Structure 1
């Protein structure tokens, strides 16, 4: 069974605070309403856009999504 995007992102936790993927993962972990049980790009991207949080920029989401799709 494939991990959810949320589970995939959490693998980036614990890195350097200067790494934008690490910051993204840490912030997603803190967001209790993040859609944890979905792999739907549109649901996730809409959430990211609506959140408007500097710690979870859409550009980093896009990079992580591309990684996630190839895993």
Structure 2
């Protein structure tokens, strides 16, 4: 079974970084409702659009998604 997006995102955490993906990861870690078992783009995108005020731009998710896909290759 491939690693979930959340598992990948947690590898990007860095509380001392100002990097946008690290900030996304730090905030997703604190989001108890984040879909932690999800591996598909559309459900994650929908969740973030509707429930993630900590994500200032969906471009950050798009960039993180591309890194996630590269990590699976």
> How many equivalent pairs are there?
70
- Give the TM-score, by structure 2 length: 0.85
Output one character per residue of 1:10-43: Cα deviation in whole Å (capped at 9) or x when no partner.
0011254311111100000000000000111110
Q: State the partner residue of 2:3.
A: 3
- Please give the alpha-carbon distance, in whole angstroms, between the structure 1 residues aligned to 2:45 and 2:14: 24
Which residue in the other structure is 2:70 paired with?
70
Equivalent-residue separation in structure 2 for 1:35 and 1:66 (angstroms): 18
In structure 1, distance between residues paired with 2:67 and 2:47: 19
SS at match of 1:39: coil
TM-score by structure 1 length?
A: 0.87
Unaligned ranges ≥5, structure 2: none
Deviation >2 Å, runs of 4+: none
| Maintained 8 Å contact 2:14/2:23 | no
Distance 1:30 1:67 in 2: 21
